[in-house]
Amino acid sequence: MRDYKYVAFEGRDGKEYTVMFPIFKTHSVVAAQVGEVVLGAGFVATDQKTGERRGFGMSISLGVGSRDEDSDLLNLPSNRIVGED
């Protein structure tokens, strides 16, 4: 299982979603590439038995932390993973 960071966004349609990316990338760079309103950011812990994801911590580069609702977003099928190339 890889280590990931994430950023939670509010889309133009008002819906919230998350983007996960490798830990070597910077939160602020990914946020700038997406270009939508940042709601939360942090790191992703994945339960090895269930596969359930949990957001925790904070982003220094964005100055925002994880929110309780981010964990729910990280477990939705619409959660995106980028930058694994």
Per residue, the 3-state secondary structure of the chain, as one string, reads CCCEEEEEEECCCCCEEEEEEECCCCHHHHHHHHCCEEEEEEEEEECCCCCCEEEECEECCCCEECCHHHHHHHCCCCCEECCCC
pLDDT of 1 higher than 80: no
pLDDT of 83 higher than 90: no
| Across 13-32, average pLDDT | 96
Residues 12 and 22: their CA atoms lie apart, in Å, by 25
**Confidence at residue 80, expressed as pLDDT on a 0 to 100 scale:** 84
* Tens digits of residue pLDDT in 33-66: 999 999 999 999 999 999 999 999 999 999 999 9
**Confidence at residue 85, expressed as pLDDT on a 0 to 100 scale:** 58
Q: Could you tell me what percent of the chain has a pLDDT over 90?
A: 86
